[in-house]
Amino acid sequence: MNREQATALSQRAGELLPQGMAGLNFIPANVLQDAIALSAPVQVTDEPTLVQYILNGIQRGQNYKEILNSLHGINGHSASLWKDYYLENKGRIDTWVTMCQRNAKEKNNQQQAASEDKGPVPAVKKPAIKKPSPASFNVDESPERPIVPAKRPRGRPKGSTNKASAPPKASTSKAARTKEDTPVAALSHATGSRRATLNSLTAPTAVFNSHLPPPNADIKIPDPPSRSPSPPTRVIPLKRGNKYTDEDREFFIKFIHRSLIKDNTLTRHELCERIAEKAPHHTTQSWLSHWSNNHDLPDKLLSQAHEKMWQTGNTNAVPSEGREEPKPKRPRYRDLSASEDDDDDNGNDEEDDEISNASDSDDGVPVRHWDKEDMGGKGEPFTDADMYMVAKRIARYQGDWEAASMRERWDSFAKKHPQRSDKSWQQYYRNNEKQIKLLVEKIRKENSQSESQRVRPTKALPRLKRQSDAESS
């Protein structure tokens, strides 16, 4: 810089400085040049740089003062100008920073989920690729132990086999020994024995998470009961039905186990029917719902019984004394509770009455009518009211129900009852198709009888009345 340029800068600095400070000619020219160069205001185009510096500073744990001071000289702007611009546009810039942080967090979560999905795959396949050799379980094995060569494949010369396969075999077994000696030695030292194999006797017991269902292969079947279990005696009534107690759950498992030992041809529905006869404070449909919500052990008991039946080709059904009747009479408990149906209109929501017996459509018990308010809510198990509303929907359907598509069947029904989706209603219908069809027939029969009585006028009542009046006189 020559003297003329320095003089021009001093004059320009004097114009920029406040009054009273224009005579400060002792300020070096390079300082004045830097001050003038960094006096350009921050523009909108500089906002991405500002946002990026803020994001990087937050990740490093810096505060906003340190972040803005670090911007001094960036894009030809001083730190004070960056601070002024940030304070003037704080709302917009903070919103931008928050949006960038949210996007980065979502992207990080997706990458973690993808890595977790890919992570267990090699861990599962690794044991199947190579099994540990018997030599690796010897803790006192010396590194100079002779290696037994592998068997020579058929159809190859003896010399070529030894020359080609011996060197890689030696390196492989040596690497396997060095890799596997550490955990085997630790296991042997912990157990105090030279045997270091891990089998069903030495393996630790599985630890299950109470919030997750246990794997089916690790479910242990309890010992069968020596006698028929006694029905539970404690009943805890709720607003809708009765509560499932520990006695109910214990009786449920023991009764299924005992019944399948006597007759391994029983189905899930037949077992629930028999349980409802022994413990009538829960209906058959309620026991079926309990089975669905706690299906791990009963499903394994049922699968084991059916597998034994297919393997042997014989059934262990007791023909006379041990086996119960396939269609037993309805217990007296049901008859007494059926007489209390008149009290249900006054707000009694007990679960003591069934809709109908699924094994007999002509049992003479009238269909119990339920309201929409009695149906199960979202996330709750299906109730008798749900089955009645589904059967009522089918009975009133105009057209061929069997030929109708899933959308035609359940689209409008799911909109009317939005606590469950159309797929959920379809799956419920498939699981209980036999019961629902029997209930549909009863509803149609009841509707036809009511229509015939409504159409046909009764003229016999006045005649009977006259006869009774004549007899009384």
Q: Kindly tell me if the per-residue pLDDT of 332 is higher than 80.
A: no
Tens-place pLDDT, residues 118-128: 655 555 555 55
260 and 309 in contact (C-beta within 8 Å)? Answer: no
Residue 141 pLDDT class (50, 70, 90 cuts): very low
Query: How large is the average pLDDT for residues 67-84?
Result: 85
Amino acid 275: pLDDT: 94
| Residue 459 domain-assigned (yes or no) | yes
Based on the fold, state whether residues 17 and 103 are members of the same structural domain.
Answer: yes
Amino acid 185: pLDDT: 39
| Residue 237 domain-assigned (yes or no) | yes
CATH number of the domain within which 303 lies: 1.10.10
Q: Kindly tell me if the per-residue pLDDT of 307 is higher than 60.
A: yes
Instruction: Name which residue leads in pLDDT, 360 or 437.
Output: 437
Amino acid 240: pLDDT: 84
Phi, psi of 188 (to 5 degrees): -65, -40
Residue 170 pLDDT class (50, 70, 90 cuts): very low
Query: How large is the average pLDDT for residues 60-71?
Result: 88
Based on the fold, state whether residues 303 and 379 are members of the same structural domain.
Answer: no
Contacts of 437 (CB under 8 A, 6+ apart): 394
Tens-place pLDDT, residues 9-50: 566 655 655 555 544 555 666 665 566 656 778 888 888 998
CA gap 351, 281 in Å, rounded: 7
| Residue 8 domain-assigned (yes or no) | yes
| Contacts made by residues 249-257, CB under 8 angstroms, sequence distance 24+ | 249/294, 251/275, 251/278, 251/279, 252/287, 252/290, 252/291, 252/298, 253/222, 253/297, 253/298, 253/301, 254/225, 254/229, 255/228, 255/229, 256/298, 256/301, 256/302, 257/221, 257/222, 257/224, 257/225, 257/301
Instruction: Name which residue leads in pLDDT, 323 or 425.
Output: 425
Query: What average pLDDT is seen over the chain?
Result: 71
Based on the fold, state whether residues 321 and 386 are members of the same structural domain.
Answer: no
Based on the fold, state whether residues 8 and 108 are members of the same structural domain.
Answer: yes
Alpha-carbon distances of 329 from 252, 260, 301, 317, rounded to whole Å? 21, 21, 27, 20
196 and 187 in contact (C-beta within 8 Å)? Answer: yes
CA gap 264, 304 in Å, rounded: 9
Based on the fold, state whether residues 78 and 7 are members of the same structural domain.
Answer: yes
Based on the fold, state whether residues 391 and 311 are members of the same structural domain.
Answer: no
| Residue 71 domain-assigned (yes or no) | yes
Amino acid 81: pLDDT: 87
Based on the fold, state whether residues 445 and 381 are members of the same structural domain.
Answer: yes
Q: Choose the most confident range, by mean pLDDT, from 12-21, 139-148, 258-267.
A: 258-267
Sign of CA dihedral 384, 390, 396, 402: negative
243 and 350 in contact (C-beta within 8 Å)? Answer: no
| Residue 252 domain-assigned (yes or no) | yes
Based on the fold, state whether residues 316 and 401 are members of the same structural domain.
Answer: no
Tens-place pLDDT, residues 88-100: 888 888 998 899 9
Q: Which domain holds residue 76?
A: 3-112
Domains in the chain, number: 3
Based on the fold, state whether residues 7 and 105 are members of the same structural domain.
Answer: yes
Based on the fold, state whether residues 294 and 393 are members of the same structural domain.
Answer: no
Find the Cα–Cα–Cα–Cα dihedral 371, 376, 381, 387, rounded to 10°: 30
| Residue 225 domain-assigned (yes or no) | no
| Residue 415 domain-assigned (yes or no) | yes
| Residue 27 domain-assigned (yes or no) | yes
Name the least confident of 112-116, 117-121, 161-165, 238-242: 161-165
